[in-house]
Amino acid sequence: MGGDNAPVEIVKGALDAAREDGIPVILVGDEKRLAAELGKHRFPESLVSIRHASEVVEMAESPSTVLRRKPDSSLVVSACLVKNREAQAMVSAGNTGAAMAVATLKFGRIKGIVRPAIASMMPTIHGKAVLLDAGANVDCSVENLLQFAMMGDQYAEHVLGVPNPRVGLLSIGEEPTKGDELTKATNAALQQVTDINFIGNVEGKELFRGEVDVVVCDGFAGNLVLKISEGVAELMVSMLKSGIKKNPATMLGGLLVKPAFQALKNKLDYAEYGGAPLLGLDGVCIISHGRSNARAIQNAIRAAAKAVEGDVVGCITKAAESVKLPVGETASSTRP
Amino acid sequence: MGGDNAPVEIVKGALDAAREDGIPVILVGDEKRLAAELGKHRFPESLVSIRHASEVVEMAESPSTVLRRKPDSSLVVSACLVKNREAQAMVSAGNTGAAMAVATLKFGRIKGIVRPAIASMMPTIHGKAVLLDAGANVDCSVENLLQFAMMGDQYAEHVLGVPNPRVGLLSIGEEPTKGDELTKATNAALQQVTDINFIGNVEGKELFRGEVDVVVCDGFAGNLVLKISEGVAELMVSMLKSGIKKNPATMLGGLLVKPAFQALKNKLDYAEYGGAPLLGLDGVCIISHGRSNARAIQNAIRAAAKAVEGDVVGCITKAAESVKLPVGETASSTRP
């Protein structure tokens, strides 16, 4: 029931995932409205069911009290399905903060993980990179960032199938001594971690050129990167369009290059990236964009299925036990 | 003598500024090499002179010891010219850290200003916005950010000629409660400043849509924004180009839309933005990109002349005395 286009696009995307990908889905929300939506489509009935939930969490609601205030919301009921092993993953396009809070409280954190992180997929020239944290934790410690590195590494390897992922630390300069206090301390600590293929600091260049598979940063920087990227892409498209409209020759050219534009648009479209997994919890939760259309939801459900197949929870649980991360005073220090 | 293209492009750009803009320039560096460059051009001789400096600061040199180690470098000699009122401003495309360190030590900070900031020009749909700090101070306090807001406001109004500039705080969410601890505390403090037209938190969207004139952030976030923007722009251009090369029709279209591409490239080209002023010092210093070509240097010299004409130093000095910024425990707290 969450997101700007619920339930129409959510149901459509879920049915596409069932039909095209063979993924069983449980639609959680107002029974009557969901049944009415289902009535409009043909779909494999054995793969689709409805679970009633009488309440909806609004986009502006305070995340911290949702569990208590709206125990029968589609969000809380979804989390309970995963908790009770009736579902293997949940996908939400609703209130991100609320989804995080509810998933964290219901699933619990994996033992040893201090903070869960949102892992967002970034387009690159060669494919994509995982950026985390994309906004779950605005203020982070070195310990948090080390765990993000470990979780991103596990996700890239076991879910995305990248062998020995290259893990970079987002900073403003490639040298280990460049960056703010948090970044410098994290770089020093990551160099000591032998189980992670740490390639050092990375900047925008390396990220978008596909020279790194996992980019680690605090949630403030990560979310900034997402929003600045969106802003720049919007600026460039808008300026190119107005440049193209200048005269008949460029307008004709514009028509001819439309396929290239469309390919670019697809590449940059959040809908292609299928939502961001919340890593570090004892259960799979995929956060989908509030503006998600059917395609975005289908991709989010695929991402959920992949996370389950790759056993991301099991892998992170094992890594949290076995990977040695430096601890002590430095590692637990926050921004000065 | 600083920058990747010195002295050839630097001299060329300086002569263009003298010839086209009537700005008197002093070329500081190796006398013989500069004289040899001058010999290749025609220029208004009364506006151009050479000041010999026997040393050059290399790009990789540690900034902190330049003043002591290379007292006769083109950088130090330039700063001395400004200090001794023989020049009204300096422009450098060399080692940014060294230029900042030398300018800070030679000019001194304006009374009351705790840290100088690099003010970078960002392209927007409607024109440009000032982003500061773009990298001078990676770890900042609320007090630093308040002063950046005040300095950016003075620069936008008196040098760029923007009446009552809209000042925004870079964050990840428009509500005052969104962002990391530093941003939230700065938002609360800025709301109390009556002399600044504070419009609240801004994100990538508002920045590139031209809905804000001055964007305030710490140097880590600011430099991140610059580098991510460059990375996204590079990614988009590269993907569009490879899309256009796909078949003869799109290739023809690509030729036809070339003027639109060129206009976009010009708009995004750092060379059009003429370097970034270092604000908060008792003297004008413009930091130019290390890759600066003649056009970038000419624009940097124009920016220097404008900063002098607009009396940015005098304006910030006055504002530092008169603008009431909240002080106390909150205002001096750093990232937690």
pLDDT tens-digit series, residues A230-245: 888 888 888 888 888 8
pLDDT at residue number A191? 95
pLDDT at residue number A329? 44
Rounded to two decimals, the pTM is 0.90
How far apart, in whole angstroms, are the C-alpha atoms of residue B141 and residue B327?
A: 11
Cβ-based contacts of A218 with chain B (< 8 Å): 180
Residue A264: which of B124, B243, B336 has the nearest Cβ? B243
Question: What does pLDDT average to over chain A?
Answer: 92
pLDDT at residue number A271? 67
User: Greatest CA span in chain B, whole angstroms?
Assistant: 66
For residue B226, the chain A residue with the least C-alpha distance is: A204
Q: Classify residue A205 by its DSSP letter.
A: H
Q: At what angle do helices A142-158 and A312-322 cross, to 10 degrees?
A: 130
Sheet holding B117-118, edge to edge: B89-92, B284-287, B276-279, B117-118
Q: What percent of chain A has pLDDT over 90?
A: 73
Indicate yes or no: CB of A253 within 8 angstroms of CB of B249.
no
Q: Which residue has the tokens 């400043």?
A: B193
Tens digits of per-residue pLDDT, A155-206?
999 999 999 999 999 999 888 988 999 999 999 999 999 999 999 999 988 9
pLDDT at residue number B139? 93
Find the range with the poorest average confidence among A36-40, A158-162, A205-209: A205-209
Indicate yes or no: CB of B235 within 8 angstroms of CB of A208.
yes
Indicate yes or no: CB of B227 within 8 angstroms of CB of A204.
yes
pLDDT at residue number B264? 80
Q: Which residues contact A216 (CB under 8 A, 6 or more apart)?
A: A132, A145, A148, A149, A152, A167, A168, A169, A170, A186, A190
- Kind plus residue range of the DSSP H or E element containing A121: strand A120-123
**E strand map for B25-119:** 25-29, 48-52, 89-92, 117-118
Closest-CA distance of chain A to residue B334, Å: 7
A325 pLDDT more than 90? no
Per-residue tens of pLDDT for chain B, all 336 residues:
988 999 999 999 999 999 999 999 999 999 999 999 999 999 999 999 999 999 999 988 888 889 899 999 999 999 999 999 999 999 999 999 999 999 999 999 999 999 999 999 999 988 899 999 999 999 999 999 999 999 999 999 999 999 999 999 999 988 898 899 999 999 999 999 999 999 999 998 899 999 999 999 999 999 999 999 988 888 888 888 888 888 888 888 888 888 888 878 777 777 677 789 999 999 999 999 888 999 999 999 999 999 999 999 999 999 999 988 886 544 444 443
How far apart, in whole angstroms, are the C-alpha atoms of residue A60 and residue B173?
A: 12
Cβ-based contacts of B255 with chain A (< 8 Å): 253
Residue A257: which of B183, B229, B254 has the nearest Cβ? B254
pLDDT at residue number B271? 67
What does the block give as tokens for A16? Answer: 């596409």
Cβ-based contacts of A182 with chain B (< 8 Å): 335
pLDDT at residue number B329? 43
Mean pLDDT of A303-332: 85
Residue A243: which of B123, B204, B263 has the nearest Cβ? B263
Find the range with the poorest average confidence among A59-73, A304-318, B35-49: A59-73
Cβ-based contacts of B231 with chain A (< 8 Å): 203-205, 207-209
Interface residue of A232, A240, A247 to substitute, partner B, most B CBs within 10 Å: A232
pLDDT at residue number B243? 84
A334 pLDDT more than 70? no
A327 pLDDT more than 80? no
Residue A135: which of B172, B254, B260 has the nearest Cβ? B172
Indicate yes or no: CB of A225 within 8 angstroms of CB of B224.
yes
User: Greatest CA span in chain A, whole angstroms?
Assistant: 66
pLDDT at residue number B334? 44
Closest-CA distance of chain B to residue A292, Å: 18
Query: First-to-last CA distance in chain B?
Result: 42
